[in-house]
Amino acid sequence: MLLRVVAAQILTSLLVAAGAWLIGGYRAAVSSLLGGLACALPNGLFALNLAWLGHMRRSRAVDDGSGRASACAVALLVGEFLKVVLTIGLLVLIARTVRDVVWSALIVAVSAVLLMQGAALIRR
């Protein structure tokens, strides 16, 4: 399920980049694609982390009740924190390294990808 959301985010990023190419040209498309992927890729890593946690939880046959729920909650919070830090870090990296960023295209792509996360989860 979560990997479908990430796939929808990557598809959204590609579609927004194609639209940016038609409207603003090559630089707008690259800015849009980088902005969308800066949000989608950390979400993909977070989804893999959640899948791994789910696999680890199912692989244990006996639940001894010794704080596994607390450990899962902490892993979830740490994963979410890392996702946000990685997203911000990628956006800062784009801002500092890519010449002539088309900010409007980047912001539209980031917004579309983040909105797709909610829309894909609601559609389920």
The pLDDT tens digits for 65-91 are 566 667 778 888 998 999 999 999 999
Residues 48-64, mean pLDDT to the nearest whole number: 69
State which residues form the domain around 67: 2-123
Helices 103-123 and 2-24 pack at an angle, to 10 degrees, of 150
Domain count, the chain: 1
| Residue range 116-122: mean pLDDT, rounded | 80
Gap between the Cα atoms of 75 and 72, Å rounded: 5
Can you give the pLDDT at residue 52? 81
Percent pLDDT > 70 in the chain is: 88
This prediction's pTM = 0.83
